[in-house]
Amino acid sequence: MNNYPHPLIAREGWPFLAIAVAVAVLASYFCAAWSIPLWIIALFVLQFFRDPPRPVPQDENAVLSPADGRIVKVERTRDEYLQRDAIKVSVFMNVFNVHSNRSPVDGTVQQLWYNPGKFVNADLDKASTENERNAVWLKTADGQDVTSVQVAGLIARRILCYVKAGDVLARGQRYGFIRFGSRVDVYLPLTATVKVAIGDKVSATTTILAVLAES
């Protein structure tokens, strides 16, 4: 279980940042002018792997955004994992967004599904069904089901997920990471009330995507 205190820089990025800084320092030693592009790359790596702490809304029925980014889809569709009709809310992350993934609800992990696939642009609808992806099925204390799906993108080549069936997650708890541009799809019960619209910019944990109906 990956539940460590937020270090501001995600540990997934430490090797990349170390290499980028080492190469830039080495280049600076030999020629400062040549090192400028390398320092720009190091700064990009630093901003990509930032992992700031986030305040958690107190509404127990709130479904929180699992990622930073932009809403690209809000629709009624089929949840292929639980074989149910559901509301899908999709968050697209570009390379300038924080890429840590957080749990959208308080819940227990019921099952996980990993599907290998393509790496088309995660902004496209077909990314949800054709790209490499990892789905986590969460069940809340009152028995409501939420499916959170990490989807690889055009540049993303690594989906990291640190939970297993039986783990209990708290809203906003970090459970995974996707490297270099991607998407997260959240499938909700049809009774949920969506609070975002296509085009909205959202922040992981702090933005409420929807509110679950009281059971």
Taking the chain (215 residues) in runs of 10, the rounded mean pLDDT of each run is: 61 84 90 87 85 89 96 96 97 87 97 78 58 92 96 73 95 87 91 97 96 88
**Domain membership flag for residue 14:** yes
In this structure, the answer to whether residues 32 and 90 fall within a common structural domain is no
13 vs 101: CA distance, rounded Å: 14
**Domain membership flag for residue 1:** no
In this structure, the answer to whether residues 29 and 102 fall within a common structural domain is no
Q: Does residue 28 have an active-site annotation?
A: no
Could you say which DSSP state residue 13 is in? G
Range of the domain at 42: 8-51
**Domain membership flag for residue 138:** yes
**Domain membership flag for residue 3:** no
* Residue tagged active-site, from 103, 182, 203, 215: 182
CATH number, position 94: 2.70.70.10
In this structure, the answer to whether residues 66 and 47 fall within a common structural domain is no
pLDDT given at position 2: 42
CA-based nearest residue to 65, from 105, 38, 110, 123: 105
In the numeric block, which tokens belong to residue 202?
């959202």
The total domain count for the chain is 2
Q: What is the pTM of this model?
A: 0.85
70 vs 6: CA distance, rounded Å: 23
